[in-house]
Structure 1
Amino acid sequence: MYAWSESDSISLVCLKKWYETEDTVSFELGSVPQDLKFNFKPGQFITLGLHMPEKLDYRAYSISSRPDENRLKLTVKRVEGGLVSNFIIDELDEGDEVSVLKPAGGFNCIDCLPSNTNKVTLVSAGCGITPVMAMAKYWLASDSKIEIDFIHMARDKRQTIYFEELNQLNEEFDNFHLKLLLKDNQDTAFPQGRLDKNWLVTLSPDILDRTVYLCGPIGFMHDIESYLKELEFNMSNFYQESFTPAESLSCDIENNEEQATEQNAASGSVNVFVPAFGVELEAEQGSPLIDSLEKGGVPVIAACRSGICGSCKCKVTKGSVTSTSTETLTDEEIEQGYVLACSSTINADVEVSLN
């Protein structure tokens, strides 16, 4: 039986948890008994509902296991001030239950198929490795014969997530080529440096003939995209994840609620009214809409907090907001006034509906 066949949300148990590196843990979720299988597109994420000390909180995490197994594997890195990620590392125990929403995300190797050459280059840094790892394991398990150059950048060998697993894949499969680049490398078995245009060509010499999948910190992804354009790469064969917080190398797709958010200069107060829940409160002009909804106790899920997952979709029936993301919204929904609360700042008095 497949999960989420009857509901968008299910309850799963933490079956196993272990450290990948000194500040990164992996854990597996499944049913008890383990009669559920998980069908998703490699590269997608799931949203977890966690009972935090003060409230039920939601965050989205990329899946690093492959589909059709009876366990989901996730990896989380400790982040300074990251309440949810650090709660998982410090407090989540084997046997604990979590609420899990069905998989989502357009960055996957089913919707984003490789070009006709059947050669791919997966590029990642830090915890950006999680979705591309799922892609690689899927292709290898399905005996697709897709040739994989797996370029990953990390600080050193000890800080390389899935280090042993990557080496095992490299030894086991002739069509998997691990290209590990380390910044602070003392091991002559691996090259040392920072990933730039020259390194891309060195590590994947025929990269111009391949399909590239990219995930990592925002600055890293911007750099790699610019290098590919300088190389005159065919960008129709380029796919990248569009979340991942800058610099933090977090394995979740949240833009941490503790991370500073650039806001428009506040020029006064505005009113936020949610009639269906009897909520009316005052907020600063230019502040994120999601902050007001959460402050008012409106039951809105803000899983990614970066305008990707679409879980905080709501409708502005009066007033106006400025949105930086319309991911997952259709043209019709946008025309009707739907917005993503996490990526919308309040311009004037607004009335909001969750329907």
Structure 2
Amino acid sequence: MITYGLKVVEKVKETDDAVTICFKQPGLKKIAYQAGQYLTVIFRINGRRYIRPYSFSSAPGIDATLNITVKRVLQGVVSNHIVDKVEVGDTIEVMPPMGDFVIDRDNFNNTNHVVLWGVGSGVTPLMSIAKFVLGNYSNHVTLVYGNRSHESTIFVSQIEQLKQQYSNFTLWNFHTKLRVNATNTYLVEGRIQPAKVLAVLNEVDQLKHSVHYVCGPLGLKESVKDELIKFDVDPSHIHSEDFEIVKDPKDFEDVITCTVEIISDRVSTQVEVIKGKSILEAGLDAGIELPYSCQTGSCLICKGKVVAGDVKTIGITHRPDKLLPGEQLLCCTYPLSEGIKVES
């Protein structure tokens, strides 16, 4: 697992519970990344190693620094540490950029209308994509952004700057905790309403050829996709970012509590895996410093080889092609039998 240190050169307070951390690009070898990807940070807090992925809010070729934006999560060890403790001058250990929530160049050209859908901190990778597209292409970009209120909105100043700088940028705001003037088409009370937005967009553009990037809760992703299908948008033009695995309680009916042998760095450890916890979670709780990053089954860093026993994959719809026979993603792997042995 390759890591390196990046120095914090600026910390920007976005809201009361969100900050942007700006890292200096290394002088000799610049870090290459794509708009929409994420940077994985590593901290040691109270003696335990924590690894977390945070989306870039900066755009390559547009911003001089590498920026991630972090919102405080209730009881979130790392997010609270970043918001409260990280300061300018600190050096943070990071992994190379990863992620495939990026511009699909095979289905992208200057005639595509780019529509970005996000709620709360889900706007972070969308901001990266918006700045990159507006700075490099002539496409029209629409950002559909849901928040509780103006005060809880991240990137207020940056979004206002984009509105002033680019005539081909449109913003829709949906606020759940604020009554707004109903005569303003683009400022709407309540949750994001895909049908309302698409009806307006379809009057001025060919939605059939639009491309969409969705970052938010499962309900948003499903409602956006359902509405887009009504406008004959190609499913390959609809992209979504997953920050968590969606688990169906029924999938756990045959999962058991058992002891699993985990071999990491040639050290064998017997770990009790409680029903409902993945083998990765149990290993980390036991103090084993297993490799991981996204915990959603996409980065493949947590892969391990199951050499004995039966396991079950939960939370991902298909097995990644890059996995070798016997390999499993430990963040999505759960015990079905006794006698499980895993090599990481």
Q: Same fold (TM over 0.5)?
A: yes
Secondary structure class of the residue paired with 1:118: coil
Alignment of 1:43-192 (within 5 A): 43-68=36-61, 69-110=63-104, 113-114=107-108, 117-142=111-136, 144-186=137-179, 188=181, 190-192=187-189
Tell me the CA shift for residue 304 of structure 1. Answer: 2.2
- For the pair 1:279 / 2:269, whether they are aligned, the reply is yes
Identity in percent = 25
**What corresponds to 2:280 in structure 1?**
290
Is 1:313 aligned with 2:295?
no
What is the aligned length?
A: 332
Spell out the pairing of 1:240-251 with structure 2 (5 A cutoff): 240-241=240-241, 243-245=242-244
Residue 191 to residue 284, structure 1, CA distance change in 2 (3 Å): closer
1:350 aligned partner: 340
- Cα-to-partner distance string for 1:93-117 (whole Å, 9 max, x where unaligned): 1111111101111110155642573
Change (3 A) 1:208 1:156: farther
Distance in 2, Cα, partners of 1:235 & 1:90: 41
1:333 CA drift (Å): 2.1
Structure 1 outlier segments of 4+, above 6 Å: none
- Deviation per CA, 1:26-65: give whole Å up to 9, x if none: 1111257x55533111111111001212212100010010
Q: Kindly tell me: are residues 217 and 13 of structure 1, through their superposed partners in 2, closer, same or farther at Cα, counting changes over 3 Å?
A: same
Relative distance call for 1:95 and 1:230 in structure 2 (3 A) is same
Structure 2, gaps ≥5 residues long = none
1:339 aligns with 2:328: yes
Letter in 2 for 1:235: P
Residues 166-224 of structure 1 deviation map (CA, whole Å, 9 limit, x = unaligned): 11111111221222222233454633232224322245233333111111122222222
Question: TM-score, structure 1 length as denominator?
Answer: 0.84
- Partners of 1:51 and 1:332 lie apart in 2 by 30
- RMSD over aligned CA atoms reads 2.8
Structure 1 residues 93 and 202, CA gap change in structure 2 (3 angstroms): same
Once residues 11 and 197 of structure 1 are traced to their aligned partners in structure 2, the CA distance between those partners, rounded to angstroms, is 41
Is 228-237 or 146-155 further displaced after alignment?
A: 228-237
Q: What is the DSSP-based 3-state SS (H/G/I as helix, E as strand, rest coil) of the residue aligned with 1:225? A: helix
- What's the CA shift for 1:127? 1.1
Matched letter for residue 105 of structure 1: G
Pair 1:329–1:163, CA change in 2 (3 A) = same
Structure 1 counterpart of 2:243, which letter?
T
Q: Cα 1:88–1:213, aligned 2, differ >3 Å: closer, same or farther? A: same
CA contact (8 A) 1:13 1:96 kept: yes
Distance 1:111 1:62, change over 3 A: farther
